[in-house]
Amino acid sequence: MIRALNETHDPQAKSWVTSANTDSTPFPIQNLPFGVYHNNGDHPRIGVAIGDCVLDLHRTTDAKLLESLPIVTQAACRSRYLNDLMSLSKGHWSQLRESLFKLLHESTPPGQKSILEGLLAPQTEIEMHVPCRIGDYTDFYAGICHASRVGSLFRPQNPLMPNYKWIPIAYHGRSSSIVISGTSIRRPSGQAKSPESDVPSFGPIRSLDYELELGFYVGSGNELGKPIPIERAEANIFGVCLLNDWSARDIHVWEYQPLGPFLAKNFATTVSPWIVTLDALAPFRCAAFVRSNGDPKPLPYLYSATDQAMGGVEISLEVALSTQEMRDTGIEPYTICRGSSRDLYWTMSQFVAHHTSNGCNLRAGDLLGSGTISGNSSHSSGSLLEMTRQGASAIQLPNGQLRGYLESDDEIVIRGWCRREGHVALGFGECRGRIDG
């Protein structure tokens, strides 16, 4: 079920919040992403980003500005996290977004505007939280360029495993170590074995890497034992964020056979604070990945003509790196990667349909990672593993420093934008993390 365009996507629409009308803002009135924050010692609360401010939904509801919405929606807006809202239907989400659009539109009556002005807080004065209680986290492996390039490093004659083009590969991650953007990442220790050694050793890992990904938050989910058909899969996705699945490559190489990633991946995963809804992303939908001649057609439970025609979202992504030395000398973060979500081999609907195909139940707030997003060129490598060929070909930064993998005090910043002629550009904010130790 692909979202339709309506008045909330009008490129001429402006907000009375003037910062939402600038070309540089990621959060114009056409976006209105959801997040959870606190300020002034208050408990966490749901907010909506508009320009450089955030609107408090708890107090907006208490002010009876959302009383036209169902009682369950109003109650969800008073929650400390987004799970209650996520557990409702697509219809509830759309109604809330449309109501917020009208409240923040420049045509809002002066009386309502006066109340709402008192419910805004500058984003510079708030602290963001992981936006929901994430019960489970599954990370897919849908970036085919990444999978091919990494496979060629370890299996030059057979980069992709035989099942890759038939099944959305994934592993179960660790939801307890998902952290919000801005959280420092402690370098993990682990067991690893170098090619030169006969036995493994334990200690701080050397090959710390980032992975450029998107995250998809599950909405209403499904009952145990009841798969979600692909035709209804998208209705179970609340929205999208940026995601960095930090990776310890030296642990990974040693531990991944035969059961896949474990300690190499579960020490930290960073998410951006704002969830951009699929309603907001409607103008930026695109076809699913165009498969090469000879690639198999997805099996019936993974195939929908609508999903193939419009199941993708065109999101431009970039990764920037800064070192302590760069920051000390005033050098801006250096963009090391530019990618696009169009390079994902599988769609978000296929993630949901496959994940539930055996009856597995997804719950409101569960998080699905896309897997590393890379393109065909070296400048679109979504990880240092690919970009530097396992650290062998270090990249040079503007100040002459070299990086094969991440070092202490290095900072990674992921950003994402949707741009299309005839529509207002939308952003996702930042997914930021600095290496501590």
Sign of the alpha-carbon torsion through 61, 64, 67, 70: positive
Query: Could you give the CA distance from residue 50 to residue 64 in angstroms, rounded to a whole number?
Result: 20
Neighbours of 156 (CB within 10 A): 8
Handedness of CA 89, 95, 100, 106 (dihedral sign): positive
The residues that bridge with 179 in the sheet, in sequence order, are 270
Strand intervals (E) in 57-126 = 120-122
* Closest listed residue to residue 178, CA positions, set 268, 44, 82: 268
Ramachandran bin of 254, using left for φ above 0, alpha for ψ from -120 to 50, beta for the remaining angles:
alpha
Q: Do 242 and 377 meet the contact criterion of CB atoms below 8 Å apart?
A: no
> Residue-wise over 391-425: b if at least 16 C-beta within 10 A, else e?
beeebebeeebebbbbeeebbbbbbbebeeeebbb
Q: Which two tokens stand for residue 24?
A: 């540089």
Phi, psi of 397 (to 5 degrees): -90, 165
Segments in 167-323 forming alpha helices (H): 230-233, 249-255, 305-310
DSSP state of 310: H
Which runs of consecutive H residues, i.e. helices, occur in 164-316? 230-233, 249-255, 305-310
Residue pointed to by tokens 């741009």: 419
Q: Which helix (H) or strand (E) holds 428?
A: strand 426-436
- Return the number of other C-beta atoms located less than 10 Å from residue 272's C-beta: 29
Measured in degrees and rounded to the nearest 5, phi and psi for residue 158 equal -150, 70
Nearest to 103 by CA among 83, 122, 117, 87: 117
User: What is the distance between the alpha carbons of residues 390 and 383, in angstroms, rounded to a whole number?
Assistant: 10
Integer Cα distance of 257 and 137 in angstroms: 21
Q: Confirm whether 146 is a catalytic residue.
A: yes
- Residue 184 has which token pair? 């420092």
Out of 58, 92, 105, 146, pick the active-site residue.
Answer: 146
- Catalytically annotated residues: 146
